[in-house]
Amino acid sequence: MWTVLKTKLADWETDFEEVLKRERHEITQEDLDYISRELPLLRAEERASEKRLRKIDELIAKTYILLDDLKETICQKLSHGHSLAVVGRALLEEFGHKLDEGHTDGKDKIRRFLEKRFGINKKESNELFNLLEDVGIIVFKVDIVDNVKEKPMVLFEPPEEGGEDVDLLEPFYQMKESWEIRA
């Protein structure tokens, strides 16, 4: 359907461009007949395309709603009846908006909290953690420490490549890792 429409629109565009390039006195009655015959068809196709696009937009919106409902249902199943909002608030109460831990340590700390708080096993806490990360309630952040953004903390020599000694020093920035809780 879309390829046929695309081809038809391209043909119309080419034909109209040819006619419109001509001087006014060069436009023949045949050209005017063609325009008067094809222009209503083009306008009808435009309205039909706009209607199809609205329907597609509606389908996309409904899909997002269904996905949100599905995520909520999965959360309730994994946390034994609690919603994403409740789980998010529990994380906020326990850790605040930011948990200053590395990736693995922070993930383990959050998962252990989920296990204790909601009485779930390790597998469920891992799935719940992944769901919370997917929906954006918890986000892992890596930032360069503010006082060294302009200059590196340490210069180091990169490892040898192919047995050759590389004498270039490369900057190494101190990183600040944390988990952000957005509930």
Average of per-residue pLDDT across 84-102? 95
Confidence of residue 166 (pLDDT cuts 50, 70, 90): low
CA–CA separation, 140 vs 180, rounded Å?
6
Residues making up the chain, counted from first to last:
183
Confidence of residue 4 (pLDDT cuts 50, 70, 90): confident
Over pLDDT 90: what percentage of the chain? 51
pLDDT on residue 146: 66
Regarding pTM above 0.85, the answer is no
Average of per-residue pLDDT across 77-103? 95
pLDDT on residue 176: 83
Model pLDDT for residues 37-80, shown as the tens digit of each residue: 887 888 888 888 889 989 999 999 999 999 999 999 999 999 99
pLDDT on residue 1: 58
SS3 of residue 88 by DSSP: helix
| Two structure tokens written together for 27 | 């436009």
Average of per-residue pLDDT across 97-112? 94
* Mean pLDDT value across the chain: 83
CA–CA separation, 18 vs 32, rounded Å?
12
Average of per-residue pLDDT across 134-161? 71
Residues contacting residue 108 through CB under 8 Å, at least 6 positions apart: none
Average of per-residue pLDDT across 7-36? 74
Q: Which of 90, 135, 81 is nearest to 110 (CA)?
A: 90
Average of per-residue pLDDT across 26-41? 79
Whether residue 148 is predicted with pLDDT greater than 80 in this model: the reply is: no
pLDDT on residue 13: 73
